[in-house]
Structure 1
Amino acid sequence: MQFERFAVAGPALIQPKLIGDSRGYFMEAFKDAWFREHIEDVTFVQDNQSLSAQVGTIRGLHYQKSPVPQGKLVRCLKGSIYDVAVDIRPGSATFGQWVSATLSAEKGDQLWVPEGFAHGFCTLEPDTVVFYKVTNLYSQPHDAGVAFDDPDIGITWPIDMSKAVLSEKDKVQPKLASLR
């Protein structure tokens, strides 16, 4: 596996080695010791998976508040997504800045979204399946979010925003300024 860091400290893009032949491919998707050595020393406690039927489905920007923040290791099992992590760490020099990567089933890349970042993605293909490992169990009382279209963040989503498919929850998330 290889990895790249971003200008915003914390997130990483992990690129597994695909070994392919006429039958298809094999890849190591996750190795605990490698992840701890090269990315972050964390323990994953839950796996989550979502299916988004329509192109342009935006999920996020989501995070969990203290005392149960979550880090997420995200990969796309079917289709492709535009994946985003936004720094929401109080006092961070890069507060409000974001990083992105296009993840696809074909490439197998994964995005590490550490604690202190809001996470969201936009589907680029129909029937997209996203799988992610998390470092803390889901906690409804600590579930929180930030508006995906907050101009103070300025994410450039790769779709016509008038056609974005959103949950009712994601339509009314607060602005980043509410976290300061």
Structure 2
Amino acid sequence: MGKFNIESLSIPDVKLIKHQVIDDNRGTFSEIFNRDYLKNLGVDCCVFQENFTVNHRGVVRGLHCQIEPYIQDKLVRCTKGRIFDVVVDVRTNSPWFGKWISINLSEDDNSLLWVPGGFLHGFCSLVDNTVVEFKCTGQWNLAYERAVIWNDPWLNINWPLPHDEIVVSERELTRNDFSAVKNWFFYEPGAELMMDK
């Protein structure tokens, strides 16, 4: 493996990135972000903003995205603890529209998740004091934020904890259901192939 190994998930635009870990008598060293190297592998992450969250067990953040002109691609990493990470395709005319995928990220797996614009993103913290960091390619702007409630019955996301153990903000409880997703993004056939170049 080179510095990074990139794997397309079942929705091809979503990528799992494994970074190399060098282990010697001093400890370990990892290069976890290199814009030019990742761009050559099809992940163009021009970082504009970086976020850091500390989460109790059972906390769900999401499902969120931003629309034009404040679209945010995200590079997500769990640096402490474990999360159940969820991505939902909300691109009109996409063959995966309304489909969700999940992956567990932890401090031990040397992985990052690439979530491009056109997808809702959210996660559930599986242990106390879980730390999640994500690099974003655009600035947060409340007026252009869009969201779907975490327990939307149509999506029927299989969250790994009982619903009575989930902790969300009051704001998250007021989110729309999935029927509100109308033309937030448009799917471009072949774009996922370009990402795999």
Amino acid aligned to 1:101: I
Q: Do residues 6 (structure 1) and 24 (structure 2) align? A: no
Q: Which residue of 125, 128, 132 corresponds with 2:127?
A: 125
Distance between the aligned counterparts of 1:157 and 1:69, measured in 2? 26
Paired residue for 1:76?
78
Q: Which residue of 2 aligns with 1:148?
A: 150
| Residue aligning to 2:46 | 43
Deviation at 1:99, TM superposition (A): 1.6
| TM norm structure 1 | 0.94
Residue in structure 1 matching 2:31, options 17, 28, 32: 28
Residue by residue over 1:45-86, the C-alpha shift from the partner in whole angstroms, topping out at 9 and shown as x without a partner, is 11111111x211100001112221111000011111111111
The superposition leaves residues 79-133 of structure 1 with CA deviations (integer Å, 9 ceiling, x where unpaired) of: 1111111101122111111122111112221100000000000001111111100
Deviations 1:4-46 (A, max 9, x none): 1112121101111112245432111011112112133341211
Partner in structure 1 of residue 140 of structure 2: 138
Quickly say closer, same or farther: Cα 1:166–1:7, change in 2 above 3 A: same
Task: Give the Cα–Cα distance (whole angstroms) in 1 for the partners of residues 16 and 145 of structure 2.
Answer: 25
Matches of 1:68 and 1:50 in 2, distance apart? 21
CA-CA distance at 1:143 after TM superposition: 1.7
Number of aligned positions between the proteins: 179
RMSD: 1.3
Q: Does the 8 Å contact 1:56/1:123 carry over to 2? A: yes
Matched residue SS, 1:177: helix
Aligned 8 A contact 1:85 1:113 in 2: yes
Q: Conserved in 2, the CA contact under 8 Å of 1:55 and 1:124?
A: yes
2:19 counterpart (16, 23, 28):
16
- 1:173 corresponds, among 172, 175, 178, to 175
TM-score under structure 2 normalisation? 0.86
Cα distance in 2 for partners of 1:118, 1:19 equals: 34
